[in-house]
Amino acid sequence: IYLAGFSEGGAVAALYTGDPLAGRIILGWTCASRTSWFEGIKGRRVPILAIVGSDDRYNQTPDRNGRECGEHFKGRPDSRSLVLKGIGHELDQQPATIEAVRRFIEEVVYAVR
Q: What's the pLDDT tens digit per position in 1-26?
A: 899 999 999 999 999 999 989 999 99
Q: H helices of the chain, where?
A: 8-15, 95-112
The span from the CA of 61 to the CA of 18, in Å, is 30
Mean pLDDT of 34-58: 87
pTM for the structure as a whole: 0.89
Residue 95 banded pLDDT, cuts 50, 70, 90: very high
Higher pLDDT, 99 or 34: 99
Q: Which long-range contacts (CB under 8 A, 24 or more apart) does 66-69 make?
A: 67/30, 67/31, 67/32, 68/30, 68/31, 69/14, 69/26, 69/29, 69/30, 69/31, 69/41
Per-residue pLDDT tens over the stretch 52-90 = 998 888 877 655 666 788 888 888 888 999 999 999 999
- Position 63 scores a pLDDT of 59
Mean pLDDT of 97-106: 94
